């Protein structure tokens, strides 16, 4: 059974279904939770799901990490370095936007005092 799970098509199917399931869990949390910190946690979970999907579909068990040394210069057996650079940028920017959003949420709590999104309907506090 271990040899059956090591083929490339099976691993790509597992990665697709797994990351889509994580996205669905994050979406469920975004739509049904009432506390606004839990909404931020759901958004961060959805971002992790997208990064896993992006890097998982390029997996092949013969390719290694894209680092050249003097003894190992065969570039046809290395991973693609461009998606790594894109995910690096996206992780850092996602964290920065999350920090800004959380500081807005703290400011709103100190002004009005409620933490449930159901009661955020009034125009003036």
Partner 1 sequence: MIGLIILASFVGIVVVAFSAIVQNTLADAIILFMGVGLGSVILFFVFGAPDVALTEAVIGSGISSLIFLMALKHLKSQP
Partner 2 sequence: MNLKRTLQTSTLSGFTLSAILIVTFLNILLQNIPSSVQRVGDELLKLNTTDGVSNAVTTVVVFFRGFDTLGEIAVLFIASLGIGLMLNENKKCEIKAESNFMLKTASKLLFPIIVVYGIYVMVYGHLSPGGGFQGGVIIASAVMLLLISHKNFELSHSVVVILETFAGISYVFIGLIGLLILDVFLANFLPHDVSSMGLLLSGGIIPIIYIVVGIKVGSEMSMIAQDLIKRENDV
Specify whether the backbone of 19 is left (phi greater than 0), alpha (psi in -120 to 50) or beta. Answer: alpha
Answer for the pair 83, 2: CB distance below 8 angstroms, yes or no. Answer: no
Nearer to partner 1 (CB atom), residue 110 or residue 118 = 110
For the segment 84-103, give every residue that binds partner 2 (CB under 8 A).
Answer: 84-85, 88-89, 92-93, 96-97, 99-100, 103
How far apart are CB 103 and partner 2 at their closest, in Å? 5
Q: Determine how many CB atoms are found less than 10 A away from the CB of residue 41.
A: 14
Torsion-angle region of 79 (φ positive above 0: left; ψ -120 to 50: alpha; else: beta): beta
CB of 118 to partner 1, least distance (A): 17
Which residues, listed in sequence order, are joined to residue 116 by a DSSP beta bridge?
A: 35
Residues 50-69 that bind partner 2 (CB under 8 A): 57-58, 60, 65-69
- Count of CB atoms situated within 10 Å of the CB of 85: 10
Binding site for partner 1 (CB under 8 A): 2, 4-7, 10-11, 14-15, 18-19, 21-22, 25-26, 28-29, 33, 35, 37-38, 40-42, 44-45, 48, 51-52, 55-56, 58-59, 61, 63-65, 79, 84, 87-88, 91-92, 95, 98-99, 102, 105-106, 109-110, 113, 115
């Amino acid at each position: 059974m271990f040899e059956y799970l090591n083929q490339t098509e099976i691993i790509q199917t597992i990665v697709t279904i797994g990351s889509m399931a994580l996205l669905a869990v994050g979406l469920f949390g975004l739509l049904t939770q009432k506390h606004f910190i839990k909404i931020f946690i759901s958004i961060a979970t959805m971002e992790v799901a997208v990064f896993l999907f992006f890097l998982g579909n390029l997996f092949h068990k013969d390719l290694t990490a894209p680092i050249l040394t003097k003894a190992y210069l065969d570039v046809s057996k290395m991973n693609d370095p461009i998606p790594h650079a894109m995910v690096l940028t996206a992780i850092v920017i996602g964290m920065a936007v999350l920090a800004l959003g959380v500081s807005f949420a703290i400011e709103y709590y100190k002004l009005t005092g409620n933490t449930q999104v159901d009661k955020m309907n009034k125009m003036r506090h």
